[in-house]
Amino acid sequence: MTHFSYKNKQLHAEAVALADIATKFGTPCYVYSKTALVSAFNSFSEALKKRGHLICYAVKANSNLAILNLFARMGSGFDIVSGGELKRVMAARGDPRKVVFSGVGKKAEEMSAALEANIMCFNVESEGELLRLNEVAGKIGKKAPFSLRINPDVDPKTHPYIATGLKENKFGVDYADALALYRKAQSLPHIEVTGIDCHIGSQLTEIAPFIDSLERILALLDKLEKVGIAISHIDIGGGLGIRYRDETPPNIAEYAAALFAKLGKRRQKILIEPGRAMVGHAGVLLTRVEYLKHNRGNNFAIVDAAMNDLQRPALYGAYHEILPVSQSSRPRRTYEIAGPVCESADFIGRGRKLGLAEGDLLAVMSTGAYGMSMSSNYNTRPRAAEVIVDDDKTTLIRRRETTDQLFSGETLLS
Ligand SMILES: *Cc1c(COP(=O)(O)O)cnc(C)c1O
């Protein structure tokens, strides 16, 4: 992770000391490295360049407009899961013709908005959704570009909350029902069959589940072609993992090479929906130690970031490395790093050996993905500021929320 490194015992984002960012913008604060974002995008595009492809960045991983705009300027498409994310993409000047719309619960108004915007494709996840899409498109007088999200029933070997391609998951349609649904789609007047899609889970650290699911997709593709249903793109979803601790995920080039080997000579355009692997390592959460507390059972460092700012540890037991912003020679102790929220699940890290004093700054590493985008206002906590560093330049890309904003839509009873 070369974009965040120590210089003179001070942790920097590119050329800017994180301590200076904390002074200027306060804590908690998400800090992103522009160079890290650009290089992740470039790694995907380099790895995929031998084939017609489109990178559809999964907006939900980090949906800040500045980040979407940066990817849009590099030619990225987007994978969205709500009408709100479509609005974000448009506000960030993303090209709607490079947008694919995933998700199991698309509302009619979200479909209309996406049709009006001329998005590239709907990744449809049920028969009910297919029928609704046909109806909505009919009302507008358009044909909806359609791809079916197949549930290939493969075990991604990841945390159960982020596995999506097992037969018991709510996502996609059963493999066995897919052919019949394509036939149905083909027969509907306002549907245009264009693609085939899957996404089996997140934070995958092995290639095999990707290859197994691609194999199933290709078998289905052959069947579709035999019955005269033409498919112009294959969307292999996202899910490539990153190293948070000691995981050894394939790198982007290995992953792409394995997929390409399986694809062989097929001529379809390849769509890919990476989220975490594009932004995960590009961000850190900067937080300050408020109190050190030595209870009989544990040493606690109570910091000013909490589970509302970074949910992953509380929700998945996820591990994030926690580094001191200023390296010191203080004696180290084992700490529970916890936030101010009134839940025992509110921890950022457990059992961390650090030499701390009150007022110290800590950086919670690799929090660019599913950090800010999953944050909430629980405990009436305004959400953190977000900052991007580009070499020695720092830009505030989201102001810290004010408390007044949090209840501005609420009213008293008369
Ligand atoms: C969340 C999601 C992604 C991105 O997953 P990552 O693990 O962040 O790469 C891609 N496609 C769909 C449909 C998703 O729901």
- Give the list of residues 6+ apart from residue 227 with CB closer than 8 angstroms, or none: 179, 183
- Say if residue 197 is in the same domain as residue 292: no
Residues 228, 251 within the same domain = yes
Per-residue confidence (pLDDT) for residue 329, from 0 to 100: 94
Q: Does 143 map to a domain? A: yes
CATH code assigned at 323: 2.40.37.10
Best residue among 106, 173, 199, 247 to mutate for probing ligand 1, ranked by most atoms within 8 Å of CB: 199
Residue 1 has pLDDT above 80, yes or no: no
Q: Which of 260, 276, 292 is the last residue of a domain?
A: 276
Ligand 1 centre and the CA of 168: distance in Å? 18
Q: How far apart are CA 252 and CA 236, in angstroms?
A: 14
- 258 and 290 together in one domain: no
Domain final residue pick, 236, 258, 276: 276
Q: Are residues 130 and 187 in the same domain?
A: yes
Same domain, yes or no: 372 and 340: yes
**Centroid of ligand 1 to alpha carbon of 296 (angstroms):** 42
Catalytic residue (one of 29, 56, 121, 342): 342
9-38 average pLDDT score = 98
pLDDT tens, position by position, 263-299: 999 999 999 999 999 999 999 999 999 999 998 889 9
Q: 3-state SS of the chain?
A: CCCEEEECCEEEECCEEHHHHHHHHCCCEEEEEHHHHHHHHHHHHHHHCCCCEEEEEEHHHCCCHHHHHHHHHCCCEEEECCHHHHHHHHHCCCCHHHEEECCCCCCHHHHHHHHHCCCCEEEECCHHHHHHHHHHHHHHCCCEEEEEEEECCCCCCCCHHHECCCCCCCCCEEHHHHHHHHHHHHHCCCEEEEEEECCCECCECCCHHHHHHHHHHHHHHHHHHHCCCCCCEEECCCCECCCCCCCCCCCHHHHHHHHHHHHCCCCCEEEECCCHHHHHHHEEEEEEEEEEEECCCCEEEEECCCCCCCCHHHHHCCCCCEEECECCCCCCEEEEEECCCCCCCCEEEEEEEECCCCCCEEEECCCCCCCHHHCCCCCCCCCCEEEEEECCEEEEEECCCCHHHHCCCCCCCC
Residue 261 and residue 215 in one domain: yes
102, 200, 205: which to mutate for ligand 1, most atoms within 8 A of CB?
A: 102
pLDDT value of position 319: 98
346 and 300 share one domain: yes
Whole-number Å distance, alpha carbon 273 to ligand 1 midpoint, is 6
Please state the φ and ψ torsions of residue 311, each to the nearest 5 degrees.
Answer: -85, -20
121 is catalytic: no
Residues 27 and 167 reside in one and the same domain: no
Residue 411 domain-assigned (yes or no): no
Q: Is 341 contained in some domain?
A: yes
Residue at 400 is within a domain: yes
d(CA 106, CA 139): 17
pLDDT at 24 over 90: yes
Per-residue pLDDT at 296: 84
Q: Are 236 and 269 in contact (CB under 8 A)?
A: no
Residues 23 and 44 in one domain: no
Q: Does residue 292 share a domain with residue 214?
A: no
Residue 2 tokens read as: 């070369």
Does the residue 413 lie in any domain?
no
pLDDT digit string (tens) for 195-204? 999 999 999 9
Can you tell me the distance from the alpha carbon of 342 to that of 359, in angstroms, rounded to the nearest whole number? 21
Task: Give me the pLDDT at residue 274, please.
Answer: 98
Task: For residue 15, tell me if it sits in a domain.
Answer: yes
CATH number at 220 reads: 3.20.20.10
Which residue ranges have their beta carbon within 6 Å of ligand 1? 58, 60-61, 79, 81, 102, 199, 202, 237-240, 273-277, 369
> 59 CA to middle of ligand 1, Å?
8
pLDDT tops 70 at residue 312: yes
Same domain, 217 and 350: no
pLDDT at residue 170, as a whole number: 83
With CA atoms as reference, report the closest residue to 277 among 45, 95, 51, 11. 45
Range of the domain at 332: 4-32+280-406
Does residue 17 fall inside a structural domain?
yes
CA–CA separation, 241 and 261 (whole Å) = 20
- Residue 312 falls within a domain, yes or no? yes
Counted domains in the chain: 2
Whether 103 and 249 share a structural domain: yes
Domain final residue pick, 261, 276, 291 = 276
